[in-house]
Amino acid sequence: MRRLEGKLAVVTGAANGIGRASALRFASEGANLAIIDMEEEGLAVTADKAREAGATVLTITANCTDEDVVADAFKRIYAEAGFVDILMNNVGQSARQRASEFYASSSEVWRFVLEVSLMSTLISSRQVVPAMREAGKGKIVNVASNAGLAGEVGLSEYAAAKMGVIGFTRSLARELAPFRVNVNAICPGVTKTRIIGNISEDILEKIRQSIPLGFFAEPEDIAATAAFLASEDSRYMTGQSVVVDGGRWMV
Ligand SMILES: NC(=O)c1ccc[n+]([C@@H]2O[C@H](COP(=O)([O-])OP(=O)(O)OC[C@H]3O[C@@H](n4cnc5c(N)ncnc54)[C@H](O)[C@@H]3O)[C@@H](O)[C@H]2O)c1
pLDDT single digits (tens) 184-240: 999 999 999 999 988 889 989 999 999 999 999 999 999 999 999 999 999 999 999
For atom 14 of ligand 1, the residue with the nearest CA is 17
Atom number in ligand 1 closest to CA 16: 39
Q: What are phi and psi of 32, to 5 degrees?
A: -95, 160
**What would the mean pLDDT of 44-52 be, rounded to a whole number?**
98
| pTM greater than 0.85 | yes
Q: How far is the CA of 249 from the centre of ligand 1 (A)?
A: 21
pLDDT of residue 128: 99
Q: What is the pLDDT of residue 200?
A: 86
Mean pLDDT confidence for 143-171:
97
Mean of the per-residue pLDDT values of the chain: 97
β-sheet bridge partners, residue 184? 141
78 is catalytic: no
Q: What is the pLDDT of residue 198?
A: 82
Question: Does the pLDDT value for residue 143 go beyond 90?
Answer: yes
Taking alpha carbons only, the member of 146, 98, 92, 124 closest to residue 9 is 124
Architecture of domain 8-241 in this structure: 3-Layer(aba) Sandwich (3.40)
Predicted confidence at residue 49, as pLDDT, reads 98
pLDDT of residue 67: 98
Closest residue by Cα to atom 41, ligand 1, is: 92
> What average pLDDT does the segment 233-250 reach?
97
At residue 1, the pLDDT reads 87
**Distances from the Cα of 7 to the Cαs of 28, 82, 131, 225, in angstroms?**
12, 10, 15, 17
Q: Vertex 34, ends 29 and 36: CA angle to 5°?
A: 120
Average pLDDT of the segment spanning 52-71 = 98
Please give the average per-residue pLDDT across 135-159, as a whole number.
97
pLDDT exceeds cutoff 90 at 77: yes
Q: Helix (H, G, I), strand (E, B), or coil: what is residue 227?
A: helix
How much distance in Å is there from the Cα of 134 to the middle of ligand 1? 30
pLDDT for res 66:
98
Residue 216 Ramachandran class (φ > 0 left, ψ -120 to 50 alpha, else beta) = beta
pLDDT at residue 199, as a whole number: 84
pLDDT at 251: 86
Atom nearest to 217 CA in ligand 1: 3
pLDDT of residue 65: 98
Determine what percent of the chain is predicted with pLDDT higher than 70.
Answer: 100
Q: Annotated catalytic residue: which of 78, 103, 158, 236?
A: 158
pLDDT band at 167 (very low <50, low <70, confident <90, very high): very high
Amino acid symbol at 78 = Y
Judge whether 33 and 27 are in contact, CB under 8 Å: yes
Cβ < 6 Å from ligand 1: which residues?
Answer: 13, 15-19, 37-39, 42, 63-65, 90-93, 116-117, 120, 143, 145, 188, 190-191, 193-195
pLDDT score, position 228: 98
Cα–Cα distance, 167 to 163 (Å, whole number): 6
Q: Return the pLDDT at 91.
A: 98
